[in-house]
A and B are shown apart, each in its own frame.
Chain A
């Protein structure tokens, strides 16, 4: 069995679904149903989060292999089983998902007034899909969850979104689905060759280099869109702009990590040769992402769009780190994924706070907010600084490690990544200046209330995390150290073997 003594991961995955089913059975007056749905969703997600904390305490950091493993017969005649488990790479993402869900539900407490029941159901289903994706150890199971995420997200954007929500949700859906179709083909090919879709088993299955190239491209099509890497990023700003606040939070916090997670979980260990061959290409795209999208962010007039573009730039750092193939780079990439999950989510929540009051995302609509909402200004400043990777806050350790690692590969790559430091500071401070500083010129802003207790509660865990991750990143780095070291060792061994065979 596993360390918890009961099927913990399965419980984490499907408990939200139970909560969702319960909410669907609620009957009665609209107002009462809405209120009950809110509480039911909150409690479900909180219980899931509390359960997931077992992972935090019981996870064996010295073990590089999979833990809390569960394996059940499913379609065994096809070599497919229900196989779940976590290792150092996935464990913190499970926790990130379970943490962000209650935060999202709480943040939408007053903001969402239409179809509350359906909204809460969508979020709980989304949680199931996210957790399931990170714990899956079978390709088919993974694929089901990986695609399943799209459905609730598509609905969240399409139903509760802004003016152009239909356009944005279709763009989001088609873009990400199309890449995934190619991945499915690659999975089928792997299954055809190896006779199994079990992920740990596939790690030991070697694939000839020529075939690796094609499978890599198929995976790339899916993951690059999800990350999103330049030039497949244009769905993201639209999706973010139209999504409701909580949708943006999950999108930035967890969904963007799925692509990078895919690279780490599949491309690197299964396709070492192709990964190494394509690395320069990834570097180029990553650097372009960092510089290009930072510049584009500078020109934005919509708060959410600006943060969306900045996400693409941060993800450029992540993909760069992954393809440096050294311990610092991979750790840095993972850390950046986590910190971005916290910081970008918080920034979208910050936008949400203003949007709930003024109903505008237009930067020019604001100015002098620091005067009227001092507590809010402090929180916003904290996360802006975390976003520009100020040392002592969450964004820094990851960026530092990636830049150090990138230098090992090529000094110019490191220089390109570091350019993001300057541009990042420019667009973030420019945003902050226009929103929070200056004289209050819009009279209606004078009547705004500072953050409510509920909003304080929403931000509190994220603030703690942002500072904790910045001051003592080792707490988090120690989770993935063993797994990353093993991954790098395996990658080097595989390349070494290939080189010997080639001689």
Chain B
């Protein structure tokens, strides 16, 4: 069962991917969906047994590397943290598979699509069940690959290819730091297996690296890795572009897999992070800034998927600042509830796009709520949960994180609280801006499109229904276990709070206005959206023209892409040309080429090779070497 949850998706991916051409589209699709259903059954059972039966376990499968004390195995580690993730990932992914049957029904290369989806799920499951950093890195890079393939699924589109490459390469920047963090972890602990690391945390607390506490360096490096995967400020640029993939892919990337990996990593490494206060402060500040920054951009975007994408970015920021103040359980809880309503919103958006004949620009939508009532309702549910309106799923997790930030210590926690509140307001605002522009008002699409607006088939609506139930109920049902009274029993040591960290307790002891505040700002955000887009639709236009600078700044996503293009991409390309054509072909080849061309002439008279030309070349080489080496080695040694 524990093995099945992880490996059924791989089986499905292999069948659909390798044999799809022979067994046909239908069979390939069925194979991968059935495998996913089996995986979900296994995954949910595992979740039940491990999290509520309190039976964590680790399954060793195979030795991976064992070189001079560097020991790594393939193994499945099931504790509450991984069980929560396995249950959530398999469930959401199965729903997305089912939904895709309807959404992709017109696509000619369905087997490939389902193979990629299942592969994606498998990699994520390997990531969350890893019992060492290398296996985690395997899943980590694996989801990178799968996202690359899926974002570039429609590879005939130039923009899709570029977005796919961008996703992979930006992720790689984070991976570089992950790899370095892994190296330092090994040299600090002598192992990269979680059980050994966590057991020895107290022992190595005084270890230093280059004069800095080793734990701080490890945690900052790993966090930088997490920033790449989880699209935090600075490395977030790939996420909005990832919209180039088919919509179910976006749902998978944003809800269940990939972007949650960074949050998971920090929670997984919580025993070490607990003793790295500076690193936690950095996590808090980056997370809080991302939460606010992404929310500001979300307010002006016009692509339905892009708005939701920025909201993911912003919600991930929330999770990170919760991690930063030490409320790891709260972050994972938000990850869990977020998975439901974000998948719901994305698949709902997919349903809208499907209805509107592949239109994604909300300026060309409107007035369709009567025609697609089911989608409209689930969109409301998703938005209510996202905005943290009481008793929907997001309310429990989001409120808890904001309370934790309030209860946290130091200016970073204050800053996080402030950003969290501001972002809560903006979240509610852009969510209802999206609803109103998409569904209400005068139809802005042409007649042809409007005539075709239709509700999606049941194979798409079914998953939406399940997700909607989750978006309503997941918070209330699970809050007592994740963050409420029974949290210690539930987590069973899978997440460690150091003895000095009382945040799980303190977060419940805040002044009574604090839990109310996010609801109030959320509702006022909704109200503002109604005023601006429903009742007085002329205001937004006026605002945009009055504050043109700010508007453009937001619309162009704070010019991050342009900035990176100017300081990384272009210089790298220019440098590449210079190095190749000037240095390589000019300088390095210049010297021997003189000799080489002589040699080519000499090919007609071989005798000349033996008379001094060779010797002079050899002499040049040696002389150069000696000078170079003596400068470098003996100069450096002194």
Contacts and interface: CB of A to CB of B under 8 A. Distances in A.
Are A and B genuine complex partners?
A: yes
Interface of A: 166-167, 170-171, 174-175, 178-179, 181-182, 217, 220-221, 231, 233-235, 277-278, 280-281, 284, 292, 295-300, 326-328, 331-332, 368, 370-371, 374, 385, 390-392, 396-397, 400-401, 403-404, 406-408, 411, 414-415, 418-419, 421-422, 425-426, 429-430, 433, 436-439, 471-474, 477-478, 481, 485, 488
B179 interface: yes
Interface stretch (B65-73, B320-328, B351-359): B65-73
30 contacts: A167-B596, A167-B600, A174-B596, A178-B618, A221-B625, A235-B592, A278-B633, A280-B632, A284-B632, A295-B572, A295-B575, A295-B576, A296-B579, A296-B584, A299-B579, A326-B68, A328-B68, A331-B67, A391-B141, A403-B179, A404-B187, A408-B183, A418-B176, A421-B176, A422-B172, A426-B165, A429-B168, A437-B156, A438-B156, A471-B74
B601 to A, nearest CB: 10
A59 to B, nearest CB: 18
Contact of A371 (B156, B603, B621): B156
B629 interface: yes
B322 to A, nearest CB: 29
B632 A281 contact: yes
B451 interface: no
Contact of B142 (A167, A231, A331, A392): A392
Nearest to A406: B183
Which 9 pairs across A and B sit closest by C-beta, in order of nearness?
A327-B68, A407-B183, A299-B576, A391-B138, A437-B155, A298-B576, A295-B576, A296-B580, A404-B183
Contacts of B575: 295
Interface string B22-55: 0000000000000000000000000000000000
Contact of B155 (A217, A327, A436): A436
B70 A280 contact: no
Contacts of B173: 422
A403 B603 contact: no
* Max count, chain B CB within 10 A of own CB: residue among A178, A182, A284: A178
Nearest to B109: A374
Contact of B67 (A280, A426, A481): A481
Contact of B618 (A167, A182, A473): A182
A403 B183 contact: yes
B70 A472 contact: no
A425 B614 CA distance: 40
Contacts of B162: 433
A371 to B, nearest CB: 7
Contacts of A179: 621
B165 A400 contact: no
B131 interface: no
A347 B572 CA distance: 25
Contacts of A421: 172, 175-176, 179
A213 B376 CA distance: 78
A49 to B, nearest CB: 27
A485 B66 CA distance: 12
Contact of B161 (A167, A403, A437, A485): A437
A442 to B, nearest CB: 14
A419 B176 contact: yes
A438 B68 contact: no
Contact of A296 (B65, B138, B140, B576): B576
B161 A175 contact: no
Contacts of A397: 64-65
Given A390-B141, A407-B180, A408-B187, A429 B165 contact: yes
Contacts of B629: 217, 278, 281
By DSSP majority rule, is chain B's interface helix, strand, loop, or mixed?
A: helix
B502 interface: no
A221 B621 contact: yes
A429 B626 CA distance: 39
A411 B70 CA distance: 18
Contacts of B596: 167, 170-171, 174
A331 B67 CA distance: 7
A166 B152 contact: no
A299 B580 contact: yes
A181 B616 CA distance: 13
B411 to A, nearest CB: 30
Given A391-B138, A437-B161, A438-B156, A474 B600 contact: no
B172 to A, nearest CB: 5
Nearest to A216: B629
B368 to A, nearest CB: 33
Contact of A404 (B62, B63, B70, B618): B70
B563 interface: no
Given A174-B599, A390-B141, A392-B142, A298 B573 contact: yes
B156 A407 contact: no
Contacts of B180: 403, 407, 411, 414-415, 418
A331 B68 CA distance: 9
Contact of B579 (A174, A295, A471): A295
Contacts of A368: 156
A182 B623 CA distance: 13
Given A295-B575, A403-B183, A170 B70 contact: no
A220 B624 CA distance: 13
B224 to A, nearest CB: 12
Given A298-B572, A430-B165, 13 more contacts: A174-B599, A217-B626, A277-B633, A281-B629, A298-B573, A371-B156, A390-B145, A392-B142, A411-B209, A429-B165, A472-B62, A473-B64, A473-B65
